[in-house]
Amino acid sequence: MAKKLYVGSLSYDTNDESLKEAFSQAGPVDSASVVIDRMSGRSRGFGFVEMSSDADAEKAIEIWNGKELDGRKITVNEARPMTARPPRGGGGGGGGGFRNRY
């Protein structure tokens, strides 16, 4: 079964293809993606790699955790499953208008 890895502290120069190529040293990579910021179009500095097997995922952690990729020391560990988060509070605050004082 495939195992998903979190990869943090990525260089802004790292892209999906270079991430996949790097992690393929540990074994077959099912997918690799760098998370991109919607507003700026730049990398958010982290991504995810899905390895074909648990053994390959463990090997990838051993090979890459704390090592340098594209000039940055990266963090690699098993990705945690997404948890439900409460909706963000939006809007808020009013006031701040003109107050007549006599």
Where are the chain's structural domains?
Answer: 3-78
pTM, full prediction: 0.81
pLDDT at 83: 86
Phi, psi of 99 (to 5 degrees): -120, 130
Place of tokens 């004082």: 101
pLDDT tens per residue across span 75-85: 999 999 888 87
Q: Domain 3-78: what homologous superfamily?
A: RRM (RNA recognition motif) domain (3.30.70.330)
Distance CA 73, CA 63 (A): 12
pLDDT of residue 62: 98
Per residue of the chain (102 residues), give pLDDT as tens. 689 999 999 999 999 999 999 999 999 999 999 999 999 999 999 999 999 999 999 999 999 999 999 999 999 999 998 888 788 766 555 555 666 666
